[in-house]
Amino acid sequence: MITFFTTAKAFEGHSGIIQRNALKSWKLLRPDVEVILFGDDAGADEVCAELELRHEPHVERHESGMKYLDYMFRRAQQIARYPYLCYSNCDIVLTEDFRRAFETATQWRKRFLLIAQRWDTDVTAPLAFDRKDWANDLQQLAMTSGFRQIPHYVDFFVFSKGLYDDVPPLVVGRSFWDHWLVWKA
Task: For residue range 25-78, list pLDDT tens digits in order.
Answer: 999 999 999 999 999 999 999 999 999 999 999 999 999 999 999 999 999 999
We report the CATH number of the domain holding residue 93 as 3.90.550.10
Secondary structure letter of residue 74 according to DSSP: H
Task: For residue range 83-117, list pLDDT tens digits in order.
Answer: 999 999 999 999 999 999 999 999 999 999 999 98
Q: What is the pTM of this model?
A: 0.95
CB 158 within 8 A of CB 108: no
What distance in Å separates the CA atoms of residue 12 and residue 17, rounded to the nearest whole number?
Answer: 7
Query: What domain count does the chain have?
Result: 1
Per-residue burial over 106-115, b if 16 or more Cβ lie within 10 Å, else e, is: beeeeeebbe
CB 34 within 8 A of CB 54: yes
CA angle 35, 41, 117 (to 5 degrees): 50
Q: Which residues pair with 67 in a beta bridge?
A: 61
Which residue range forms the structural domain that includes residue 151? 2-184
